[in-house]
Amino acid sequence: MKKRVQLRKDVQAKQEGNQLKKALFIGSAILLVLVFVIGIFLYESERLDKSAKVAAQNQVFLARAHPPGLGPADAKVHLVEFFDPACGTCREFYPLVKDLMKANRDKMRLSLRYAPFHAGSDNVVRILEAARKQDKFWQTLEAVLASQSYWAPNHKAQVELLWPRLGNLGLDLERIKRDMYAPEIETVLTQDLADAKALNVTMTPEFFVNGRPLPEFGFEQLKKLVNNAVAKAY
Amino acid sequence: MSISEFEPQDYSPDGAWKLVFLAWLLASVSTLGALFLSQVMGIAPCVLCWYQRIFMFPLVFVLAAGLFPFDARLVRYALPLAVVGWTIALFHVLVVAGVVPEDLRPCAQGIPCKDQQIEWFGFVTIPLLSLIAFTLIGLLLLLTYFKASK
């Protein structure tokens, strides 16, 4: 009899022990997630503080005169996009950015900078810049983006697959092939890549609105940043 | 009536449970830490980092599943993950230290494994943290094995 009582006590103790273990496990899990979330908030708020200071320093790299642009020169909101012609997200952002420009006509201007991170896409940038010499930059850019899946299979830009897609734009393709490697185009590429590095651009597209980077990637975030800048400036 | 009939099914030596719980904590902290570095701080993981993640992340779930009810056989499933992860972490540490020659690096794509964005106190790098975590988890699992087989 005594033995049984002892056993029952053992079982009870074991069950209590199990309860304790479960509480310990769940408590730790909640604590870990909590620390993670608090960490995100602390890190983000520190980064926002920094980004205001950084925005001023960024202007040096963002105020270059050479990049192709849209919108009036005296617009108070300056959107700079670093993009890669072979990047799918850049292609998807293109019409969205255009709509954003339309919605804020006369109030903002856009500068396009190159960040050809994909293999071979620097050659596509050369073609764009050479087309710019023939005043056909935007048409060419749109054709390049529209046919991206044909000339950039597996994220590798292949110029020979791009040529047939540029046939009906009225471009002098022979001239483009001659101009592609002109020293001034080389300079643009080097300058843009150097500025991208200085601005810590590691992914495309990357946007700067009056020097401020996106707090977090996404079109809604970009729209918000632009709208805030427009409201502040006008 | 024999004593064993009164034993609950998931009877576990408390010591072994604690060891596995500790290993689970380590795996969870490592996983959340890795996610913080890549998703919050925006540090892109290199190829070797990805392989270590592949062996660290599942440990969180494998170890947790072995805790309730406690099943000492979890060592069979978790230890291989820890050992392979440990090997990759060691290789990564050697790459960072420059012991493994450049041309042996399987890190051609994009992010170099040798470059370290984080260096606390001059020597604590992310792969070193990973190696420490895998080492501790591996040792805890070995201890669990010996304790449970006693």
Is position B89 within any domain? yes
pLDDT score, position A161: 92
Name the residue facing B44 among A32, A36, A202 (closest C-beta): A202
Phi, psi of B74 (to 5 degrees): -55, -25
- Count of structural domains within chain B: 1
Each domain of chain A, given as residue ranges in start order, spans 1-62, 65-233
Mean pLDDT, residues B52-72: 93
Q: Is the predicted pLDDT of residue B9 greater than 50, yes or no?
A: no
The verdict on a CB contact (< 8 Å) between B11 and A32 is no
Q: Rounded to the nearest 5°, which phi and psi values hold at A111?
A: -120, 135
For residue A56, give how far its alpha carbon lies from the nearest alpha carbon of chain B (Å). 22
Q: Residues A32-54: pLDDT tens digits?
A: 999 999 999 998 888 777 777 77
Question: Taking the model in full, what pTM does it have?
Answer: 0.56
CA distance A40 to chain B (A): 6
Q: What are phi and psi of A86, to 5 degrees?
A: -95, 5
pLDDT at B93 over 80: yes
Q: What is the pLDDT of residues A134-146, one digit of tens each?
A: 999 999 999 999 9
pLDDT exceeds 60 at position B7: no
* Average pLDDT of every residue of chain A: 89
| Chain A residues contacting B via beta carbons under 8 Å | 7, 10-11, 14-15, 17-18, 21-22, 24-25, 28-29, 32-33, 35-36, 39-40, 43-44, 202
What pLDDT score was predicted for residue A2? 65
Q: For the segment A46-97, what is each residue's pLDDT rounded down to a tens digit? A: 877 777 777 788 888 888 889 999 999 889 999 999 999 999 889 999 999 9
Q: Which ipTM score applies to this complex?
A: 0.75
Average pLDDT, stretch A184-188?
94
B133 domain residue, yes or no: yes
Structure-token match 């293109």, residue found: A94
Question: Domain A65-233, CATH 3.40.30.10 — does that match?
Answer: yes
A80 CB contacts (<8 Å, ≥6 apart)?
A62, A67, A110, A111, A113, A207, A208
* pLDDT tier, B111 (very low <50, low <70, confident <90, very high otherwise): low
For the cut 60, the answer to whether the pLDDT of residue A115 exceeds it is: yes
The answer to whether position B117 is within a domain reads yes
User: Chain A residues with CB inside 8 Å of B108's CB?
Assistant: none
Edge-to-edge order in the sheet of strand A108-114 = A69-70, A108-114, A77-83, A206-209, A212-213
How much is the pLDDT for A54?
77
Residue B18 lies in a domain: yes
- Output the DSSP codes for A2-50: HHHHHHHHHHHHHHHHHHHHHHHHHHHHHHHHHHHHHHHHHHHHHHHHH
Cα–Cα distances in angstroms (integers) from residue A191 to residues A112, A166, A186, A196, B10, in the given order? 13, 26, 9, 8, 66
Chain B residues whose beta carbon lies within 8 Å of the beta carbon of residue A14? 8, 11
Q: Is B57 helix (H, G, I), strand (E, B) or coil?
A: helix
Residues near A130 by beta carbon (within 8 Å), at least 6 away in sequence? A175, A176, A177, A179, A180, A182, A185
CB atoms within 10 A of CB B79: 17
For chain A, state the CA radius of gyration: 27
Backbone φ and ψ for B54, nearest 5 degrees, come out as -60, -35
pLDDT above 80 for B150:
no
Question: What is the distance between the alpha carbons of residues A118 and B101, in angstroms, rounded to a whole number?
Answer: 26
Q: Flag the least confident range among A93-107, B9-23, B123-137.
A: B9-23
Contact list, A41 vs chain B (CB under 8 Å): none
What is residue A155's predicted lDDT score, i.e. its pLDDT? 79
The CATH number that applies at residue B139 is: 1.20.1550
* A37, closest residue in chain B (CA to CA): B36
Query: Which of B11, B32, B60 to probe the A interface (max A CBs under 10 A)?
Result: B32
8 Å CB contact between B148 and B15: no
Name every chain A residue with its beta carbon within 8 A of the beta carbon of B37: none
Beta strands in chain B (DSSP E): none
Give residue A185's pLDDT band: very low, low, confident or very high (50, 70, 90). Answer: very high
Closest to B92 (Cα-Cα) out of B106, B108, B111: B106
Q: How far is CA A65 from CA A61, A73, A75, B38, in A?
A: 10, 11, 15, 34
Whether B6 sits inside 8 A of A44 (CB atoms) is: no
Residue A32 is nearest to which of B29, B41, B42, comparing CB atoms? Answer: B29
Range(s) of the domain holding residue B85 = 13-149
d(CA A205, CA A217): 9
B8 assigned to some structural domain = no
Q: Which residues contact B69 (CB under 8 A, 6 or more apart)?
A: B9, B10, B12
Q: Which value, to the nearest 10 degrees, does the dihedral of the CA atoms of residues A155, A158, A164, A166 take? A: 70
